[in-house]
Amino acid sequence: MFIDKDSLSVTVGNTTINLGDYILDAKYQYPKLWSEDSGRNLKGTMSGTLIGIFPKITVTFRRLNKTELENISKILDSTTQSVTYYDPYKKTYVNMNTYTGDWEFTNNNINSNSTFTISFIARSKR
Amino acid sequence: MRVHTNDFKTQIKEFGRQIDSRITFDDLSYIGVENIFSVNPILNTELLKSTMKGLNFESNVDIDLDTHFKYEFGLLINDVPEWIDFGYYYVTKKEYNEDRKTWSYTCYDELRKSMVEYTGLNTGTFPMTVRSYISDICIDLDITFANASDTFPNYDRVIEKDPYVDGDGASLGYLYRDILDELSAVVAGNICMNNDEELEIRYVNETKSINLFNKNTVLENYRLSSDGYSLYMDTNYFLTDYIEVLPNTKYTGNTVFVDLYNRIAFYDENKQYLSHNNGGNVKSFITPLNTKYVRFAKAKEQLNTFQLEIGDAIHPYEPYGLDQIDGEYLKDVNVKFAQKFGPLNTIILSRSGESDEIYRTYPDELPEEDRIAFKIIDNQIMNGNDRGDYCQEILDRLKGLEFYLNDFNSTGVLYYELLDLYNVSIDEEDDLGNITTNTYKCLMLNDEPTINQGLVERIFTDLPGKAVTDYSNMSKDDRMLSQVYIIAKKNEGEIESFVGDMLGPDGKFTKLVQKVDGIDTTVQANTDDITIIKQSIDGIQVDITKKGENLVRNTMLWNYDGWLANNFNPLASGETPPAILPGVVNVIYWYCTQTSSVYEAGTIYEYDFIDEEWKPTNYLRKDFYSTADSVVGLSIVEDKNNYLSGNKFVLEYDGTSTTEDLGFFSEQFEISPTQDTLTFQFKLKSTVNVGKVAVELMLFNDEYVNRIDMDNYLVGSYYFVIDETKDIDTYKVQIPLNSVLTVASGNSSPASLSSLWLDTSGVQNVLKKYNAETTSWEVYNTPNIIKDQNNQYYRWTIYEGGNFYRVWNDSIKIIRGQVAFMIVNDGVQYPNAIIEIGDIKAEYGAPTDWGPRQDEIYSITHKMDSIGYTIQKGENKLFLDEDELTGYFRNGKMFYINKNEVYSKVSKSEVSNVNGLVTKKIIVNGNNIYIRYIEGV
């Protein structure tokens, strides 16, 4: 969650970008990943192993100009990233290793870039 | 059980559990779930086997072969993993998965060191105990033996020789692991590595429920008084038994301890009261130092629901007893609980392809239909005839073991270890749709957890041992009345079959040992009488040890007309002539064994009493033996009316009137002064009904050397008098050798209560003996005591039946014996008569069956003794000693060889006659000797 303007940042190599400067909103998700052993036991009770909670942060970038896109493209094109965010469960800033999906934007006019969305997904359980 | 908390047990089944894994290397670095993709600990074993644990895992980390590591399973409890120790392993095999970019590792615990060939112990020598053997094996394997000082079944039994190498100490191809397998059976456990990497003998472990309260041992209607230990009667309460706890540890119940009513008393290890706690309306208490037991009261309505746990948390109720899991731990597929095994009450030791089995039961005499057995097959250590002892201790350890065969998939338990005994409680529906809760006791022998992103665990237990239904060919023990067994000694490459009596190897038996190179047979009557025949491709070797206990030998007939012509004294033998005693009139013969200026070795000399010198004769030694042979030997006397056959001596009288006595003497034999009893016996059949036939055992003092003046030295004699027709019967007497009779004579009783008293105070002397019970001297009538003219006392006793007379002077010590046989004519002429006497035997101690003297061997066709070898078939006989060779054909002496002389009654020759010229060609040693003469001249 955002508790101040610097509550979400992403680092690739030596480059760290404060996402608060670029995004319109951020959606924090905490998906549970269940093992294949999950099912009902002999008593009929649901049983299973929780592999873990793998946080997923989906951000919507505002319309970015050429320079801004150039700045963040390095982040978005990288295989993995290190994302720092404030975790309300742990009540502290958490650094997680992430991967992202494809990113895309639309140009309606010269230098007029559309907004776009991308998710940072934790590679390890929280 | 692996060390775990009650929380672990609860959380491992919870939905949403989170698991972890950790592999820690010797340098304390480790890899976790980020690098471990799956782990499969493996436990596959059987009861009474060595157990090597395995572990397979897949990782993206390249780990060297032989890397030593520890695996732990983690379960997240309150965000902190609780680690369960699965022990140490070695990376034994690795494969790279190109597609997954990972490594698959196969790992085993330190018992993998035992997977090497056994070539005999590097340390220690046999014989050694079972425990020492395991210790020395551990030294060889560089493994610590955790039970090196412990006692366990058969730990002190001695292994005489290494059963896993051949007779030359060479390897038989066994692995150390094979030996540990068999040792596991010997010690009635499973040999395995513990988590401290020590070799441990693991036994069946009854796990404990988390509930420490046993509702079955409460004392109803009582609670504790205010002093904390006295009992206070209150029908609303029950008082627990002593519950074992740890000192300075927190325990929690599932209900509060009501102040004053549920006060908790603490006791030391001797159950002595230490202190108490009033309860305080809380659920928990902490045990003081030195506490070993606690007791407290609870309201009666809590009897079936109360639970006491270690720690400060309370978990779902479990009954007291074995640790129990229920359906929440089981997957809803593959849940099988089959037949119940046990309670085990019989151990069977089997060998020789299960053809030779013994068993022990509990209780001792258990009907066959009630036996539930575990069979141990072909164990090399328990292959001898002491296996019954091994069997008993194994039974003592395992008796009562029971469990259900099972095969089920679990959502994961993980804390059960090898040989843990635990309960599985599940709800089951019967045919009528009724649901009942059944509890199955299970034994952990096979465990295959799969740990990856999730966890499943397959657990199964098969039927142990081998089903046994036929006891008809089994004996309870090898030490039964009849020992009959066949042992297949696979390691030594031989089969041993044995039939013997209950006395075992010292007793009577026959044994056959079959090897690849030959067959050995042993026939043993006792440790002194043994015949061994060893047959191989090179021939047959016969070893005979015959140590007969018979003191009688070389019985010598003495002459009388109509009976026997020969009359010889015993033949003396030696390098120099024997001394001739004054007054001795018998003919003396001496066999010279060393040539001198006067005498020639190999010649028999006769003493000439007139010239008083030794003169050579033409006698052969055999000539003496033919009449001076043992009455129990196999021989033929050349006299037609007298012969020795088998074990009897038959005298057939030809009816010629005579008043002469007939008899024989044996050689004198020495009697050991250390012996207490001499037994004399013989068998006799007689048709004599006039006169008397007597067999006498004469006993002499040590001054007696010649029978001529025997009366002066005769100490006593035993007569068996047969004065009527008798069928073959055995006459037998046991003679005390060293008894001393003392008789005190006088008007007053003697001081010594052990002597007899000839009371002379009355008109007639009365012999008396002291009676300790009545404390008085009483008339002593039996045996009768007589006093001779030399003022010596004798006993004279007539035994029942009147056939045995005993005359005895108790004051003289016996040192020699001699057997005599005689027909006492009493002036009456003998009629036709046949007397058969045989099996004469004098021996020390209790009577036994007839046997020869030491170093004498008899059979139907041959005799071997100190005289020489005699081979006989029908009327043909061959005698051989060191300087004679004599052949008989149809009882006629055909040839003999003595010294350098050869005598032949008939020689082969070729004869031709040409016009009256006779030519005889005698063939001697390939040379032809021609004798020519004119026929009729």
Q: Which tens digits make up the pLDDT trace of B395-406?
A: 999 999 999 999
Choose the closest CB to B327 out of A37, A43, A48: A43
Choose the closest CB to B16 out of A39, A41, A50: A50
Q: In Å, how far from its chain's centre is CA B773?
A: 45
Residue A92: beta bridge partners? A87
> What's residue B630's pLDDT?
33
d(CA B690, CA B354): 66
d(CA B397, CA B191): 15
At how many degrees (to 10) do helices B130-141 and B176-186 cross?
150
Strand ranges inside B601-736, DSSP E: 604-608, 613-616, 642-645, 648-653, 662-665, 669-670, 677-686, 692-700, 714-722, 726-736
Kindly state the tokens that stand for B252.
């929690």
| 8 Å CB contact of A47 and B328 | yes
Mean pLDDT of B633-656: 36
> What's residue B305's pLDDT?
95
Kindly state the tokens that stand for B92.
């034994």
- A67: phi then psi, degrees, rounded to nearest 5: -65, -40
Identify the helix (H) or strand (E) that includes residue B11: helix B6-11
For an interface test with A, give the residue of B11, B35, B411, B437 to mutate (most A CBs within 10 A). B411
Choose the closest CB to A49 out of B34, B329, B455: B455
pLDDT band at B649 (very low <50, low <70, confident <90, very high): very low
For an interface test with A, give the residue of B17, B414, B425 to mutate (most A CBs within 10 A). B17
pLDDT band at B638 (very low <50, low <70, confident <90, very high): very low
| 8 Å CB contact of A51 and B327 | no
- Please say if the pLDDT value at position B813 is more than 60: no
* Residues sharing a CB contact under 8 Å with residue B477, sequence separation 6 or more, in sequence order: B358, B360, B388, B391
Residue B349: beta bridge partners? B358, B376
Q: Which residues of A touch B455 (CB under 8 A)?
A: 35, 37, 49
Mean pLDDT of B454-462: 93
What are B313-365's pLDDT values in tens digits?
Answer: 889 999 999 999 999 999 888 888 878 998 999 999 987 666 678 889 999 88
Query: Among residues B701, B694, B708, which one has the least CA distance to residue B817?
Result: B701
| 8 Å CB contact of A124 and B34 | yes
Kindly state the tokens that stand for B340.
């119940």
Q: Is A73 helix (H, G, I), strand (E, B) or coil?
A: helix
Please tell me which residue, B764 or B47, carries the higher pLDDT value.
B47
pLDDT band at B582 (very low <50, low <70, confident <90, very high): low
- Using an 8 Å Cβ cutoff, are B328 and A41 in contact? yes
Among B715-719, B768-772, B786-790, which stretch is predicted with the lowest mean pLDDT?
B786-790
In terms of CA atoms, which chain A residue is nearest residue B329? A41
- Using an 8 Å Cβ cutoff, are B497 and B356 in contact? no
Please tell me which residue, B862 or B818, carries the higher pLDDT value.
B818
- Please say if the pLDDT value at position B800 is more than 70: no
What are B818-841's pLDDT values in tens digits?
Answer: 777 665 554 444 445 566 666 778
* Residues sharing a CB contact under 8 Å with residue B374, sequence separation 6 or more, in sequence order: B47, B48, B344, B346, B347, B348, B398, B464, B465
> What's residue B707's pLDDT?
47
Kindly state the tokens that stand for B844.
């020390």
d(CA B27, CA B18): 27
- Please say if the pLDDT value at position B130 is more than 90: yes
d(CA B180, CA B144): 14
- Please say if the pLDDT value at position B51 is more than 70: yes
Give the gyration radius of chain A's Cα atoms.
18
d(CA B643, CA B755): 50
> What's residue B807's pLDDT?
45
- Looking at residue B580, the DSSP 8-state letter turns out to be P
> What's residue B890's pLDDT?
83
Query: Among residues B202, B53, B187, B198, which one has the least CA distance to residue B133?
Result: B187
Kindly state the tokens that stand for B877.
């006989």
Kindly state the tokens that stand for B454.
């999730």
* Residues sharing a CB contact under 8 Å with residue B865, sequence separation 6 or more, in sequence order: B633, B852, B853, B855, B856, B857
| 8 Å CB contact of B454 and A51 | yes
d(CA B436, CA B426): 8
- Please say if the pLDDT value at position B573 is more than 50: yes
Please tell me which residue, B621 or B608, carries the higher pLDDT value.
B608
Identify the helix (H) or strand (E) that includes residue B389: helix B387-398
- B140: phi then psi, degrees, rounded to nearest 5: -60, -40
Please tell me which residue, B759 or B824, carries the higher pLDDT value.
B759
- Using an 8 Å Cβ cutoff, are A82 and A95 in contact? yes
Per-residue CA distances from B461 to B143, B440, B685, B880 (Å): 29, 12, 74, 73
Residue B468 — left, alpha, or beta (φ > 0 → left; ψ -120 to 50 → alpha)? beta
pLDDT band at B548 (very low <50, low <70, confident <90, very high): low
Mean pLDDT of B705-712: 53
- Using an 8 Å Cβ cutoff, are B75 and B12 in contact? yes
| 8 Å CB contact of A37 and B456 | yes
- B180: phi then psi, degrees, rounded to nearest 5: -65, -35
- Using an 8 Å Cβ cutoff, are B269 and B276 in contact? no
| 8 Å CB contact of A41 and B34 | no
d(CA B591, CA B138): 68
Residue B334 — left, alpha, or beta (φ > 0 → left; ψ -120 to 50 → alpha)? left
* Residues sharing a CB contact under 8 Å with residue B149, sequence separation 6 or more, in sequence order: none
Cα torsion through B782, B786, B792, B798, rounded to 10 = -60
For an interface test with B, give the residue of A32, A45, A47, A126 to mutate (most B CBs within 10 A). A47
d(CA B598, CA B802): 56
d(CA B573, CA B174): 60
What are B469-523's pLDDT values in tens digits?
Answer: 555 555 555 544 446 677 777 666 788 888 876 545 567 888 899 988 899 998 8
Residues in chain A: 126
> What's residue B69's pLDDT?
97
By a Cβ cutoff of 8 Å, what residues of chain B touch chain A? Answer: 13, 15-19, 34, 326-332, 335, 411-412, 426-427, 452-456
Mean pLDDT of B82-103: 94
> Position of tokens 């009904």?
B689
Cα maximum dimension of chain A:
65
Could you say which residues of chain A have pLDDT below 50?
Answer: none
Query: Among residues B16, B19, B15, which one has the least CA distance to residue B414?
Result: B19
pLDDT band at B578 (very low <50, low <70, confident <90, very high): confident
- Please say if the pLDDT value at position B676 is more than 60: yes
d(CA A16, CA A9): 7
In terms of CA atoms, which chain B residue is nearest residue A89? B79
| 8 Å CB contact of A49 and B427 | no
ipTM score assigned to the predicted complex: 0.75
Query: Among residues B42, B90, B39, which one has the least CA distance to residue B69?
Result: B90
- Please say if the pLDDT value at position B925 is more than 50: yes
| Mean pLDDT of the residues in chain B | 79
* Residues sharing a CB contact under 8 Å with residue B774, sequence separation 6 or more, in sequence order: none
At how many degrees (to 10) do helices B387-398 and B176-186 cross?
70
> What's residue B783's pLDDT?
46
- Please say if the pLDDT value at position B460 is more than 70: yes
Cα maximum dimension of chain B:
149
Give the gyration radius of chain B's Cα atoms.
45
Among B55-64, B473-482, B519-528, which stretch is predicted with the lowest mean pLDDT?
B473-482
d(CA B917, CA B1): 115
d(CA B806, CA B795): 8
Kindly state the tokens that stand for A7.
């509550």
Among B170-174, B758-762, B870-874, which stretch is predicted with the lowest mean pLDDT?
B870-874
Mean pLDDT of B203-220: 95
B442 to chain A, closest Cα gap in Å: 18
* Residues sharing a CB contact under 8 Å with residue B176, sequence separation 6 or more, in sequence order: B113, B114, B115, B116, B118, B137, B140, B141
Query: Among residues B366, B524, B418, B471, which one has the least CA distance to residue B189?
Result: B418
Q: Which residues of B touch A45 (CB under 8 A)?
A: 15, 328
Per-residue CA distances from B836 to A36, B269, B648, B910 (Å): 100, 82, 6, 48
What is the CB neighbour count within 10 angstroms for residue B839? 20
d(CA B188, CA B158): 16
* Residues sharing a CB contact under 8 Å with residue B850, sequence separation 6 or more, in sequence order: B550, B632, B647, B839, B841
- Residue B695's Cβ-count burial label (10 Å; 0-12, 13-18, 19+) is buried
Q: Is the dihedral of CA B156, B159, B162, B163 positive or negative?
A: negative
